[in-house]
């Protein structure tokens, strides 16, 4: 879009909004007069716009019809190591650490020696080994210090997959189920997984239950400790659905501008389930109806201008 066209479109939008604001004020005065005089007026008028005006205003028209509505349950959570592939390595016998060969961040293979400890009883050295391929995510020993079985020396995690633990509030528990698909995101990273587990109890301090998703993590994109947002993907069929951006509130009612022989007619509708981008229509609009999907607020402004001129 050229700068001149962009400026012209912006000026048109500003003019319409200004006219709508003026019309709203005029209609408010008229409504007050009507309530005093006992008169009642029908304010429903079709908005007439040419194809050129529709294009200039960025107004698009869509067709109402069957679709799947996503409830849009959003959950917050945290990435954790996969507990099924996590090893806590402790010394077999109390002793003194003589050598440490691994540190946090090192990739290790099953059988690798992580440290050497001299036993207090036999004074013979023995080796601390990992039986798991993975990454060292904790190291709690230093050369020369005393260790025993009460203290873990290393924690090894296979990060080729991770757990994402999501907090589910009480109000959302009925909408979250095992095997549901979930879109997990953190920054620019996104991945889809399925809920594999939901805790049978609710945490008392937070009043949340844990829902767990296992994500593959071959590239180590999902680092333990990351905070994430997850969206439960639970689409439900709807007989008639429209874009959420189509809805305007006129005289306290949800209204859609519907294409007719006279132009675009404001039509009150009864809404049902609301998703991220779509909303279900229970009454007032049938499948196949053509309606204004984007920038419908401009038609609301034009409608207000027409009403103000009609009243004068």
Same domain, 78 and 180: yes
Kindly report the CATH number assigned to the domain that includes residue 222: 2.40.30.170
Same structural domain, 92 and 135: yes
User: Are 78 and 200 in a shared domain?
Assistant: yes
Are 209 and 78 in the same domain? Answer: yes
Q: Regarding predicted confidence, which is higher, 298 or 37?
A: 298
User: Does the pLDDT at position 139 exceed 50?
Assistant: yes
CATH number of domain containing 131: 2.40.50.100
Which tens digit of pLDDT belongs to each residue from 274-303?
Answer: 887 899 999 999 999 999 999 988 888 878
Which of these, 256, 269, 244, 263, lies nearest to 70 by C-alpha position?
244
Number of domains observed in the structure of the chain: 3
Q: What residues have CB less than 8 Å from 142, skipping those under 6 apart?
A: 97, 100
- Nearest CA to 149 among 108, 119, 124? 119
Q: Is 193 found in the same domain as 78?
A: yes
pLDDT value for 310: 53
pLDDT tens figures, 81-118: 999 999 999 999 999 999 999 999 999 999 999 999 99
In tens, the pLDDT along 159-174 reads 999 999 999 999 889 8
> Which one of 2-11, 51-60, 70-79, 139-148 scores highest in mean pLDDT?
139-148
Q: How far apart are CA 271 and CA 213, in angstroms?
A: 33
- pTM for this one? 0.63
Extract the tokens encoding 85.
């592939």
Domain with 94, as residue range(s), is 83-157
Residue range 200-216, pLDDT digits in tens: 999 999 999 999 999 99
Same domain, 168 and 78: yes
Residue 300 and residue 252 share a domain = yes
Share of the chain above pLDDT 90, in %: 66
Looking at the fold, whether 197 and 217 belong to one and the same domain comes out as yes
Vertex 138, ends 118 and 127: CA angle to 5°?
25
Looking at the structure, tell me whether residues 174 and 204 fall in a common domain: yes
Residue 229 and residue 241 in one domain: no
Residue at which a domain ends, from 96, 122, 157: 157
Q: Is the same domain home to 91 and 144? A: yes
Over the chain, what is the mean pLDDT? Answer: 85
Q: The domain that contains 54 carries what CATH number? A: 2.40.420.20
Are both 186 and 78 inside the same structural domain?
A: yes
């Amino acid at each position: 879009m050229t700068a001149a066209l962009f400026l012209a479109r912006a000026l048109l939008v500003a003019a319409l909004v200004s006219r709508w604001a003026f019309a709203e004020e005029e209609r408010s005065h008229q409504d007050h007069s009507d309530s005093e005089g006992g008169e009642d007026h029908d304010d429903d008028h079709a908005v007439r716009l040419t194809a050129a005006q529709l294009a200039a205003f960025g107004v698009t028209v869509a067709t109402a019809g069957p679709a799947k509505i996503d409830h849009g349950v959003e959950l917050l959570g945290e990435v954790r190591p996969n507990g099924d592939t996590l090893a806590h390595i402790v010394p077999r016998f109390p002793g003194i650490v003589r050598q440490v060969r691994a540190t946090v961040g090192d990739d290790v293979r099953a059988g690798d020696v992580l440290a050497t400890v001299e036993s207090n009883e036999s004074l013979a050295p023995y080796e601390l080994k990992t039986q798991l391929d993975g990454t060292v995510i904790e190291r709690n020993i230093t050369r020369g210090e005393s260790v025993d079985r009460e203290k873990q020396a290393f924690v090894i995690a296979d990060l080729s997959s991770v757990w994402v633990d999501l907090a589910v509030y009480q109000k959302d528990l009925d909408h979250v189920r095992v095997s549901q698909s979930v879109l997990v995101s953190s920054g620019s990273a996104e991945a889809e997984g399925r809920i594999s587990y939901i805790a049978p109890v609710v945490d008392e301090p937070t009043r949340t239950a844990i829902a767990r998703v296992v994500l593959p993590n071959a590239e180590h994109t999902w680092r333990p400790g990351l905070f994430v947002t997850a969206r439960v993907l639970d689409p439900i069929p709807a007989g008639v659905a429209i874009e959420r951006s189509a809805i305007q509130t006129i005289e306290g009612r949800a209204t859609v501008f519907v294409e007719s022989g006279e132009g675009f007619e404001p039509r009150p509708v009864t809404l049902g389930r609301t998703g991220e981008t779509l909303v279900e229509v229970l009454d007032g609009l049938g499948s196949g109806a053509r309606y204004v999907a984007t920038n419908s607020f401009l038609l609301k402004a034009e409608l207000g201008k027409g009403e103000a001129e009609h009243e004068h």
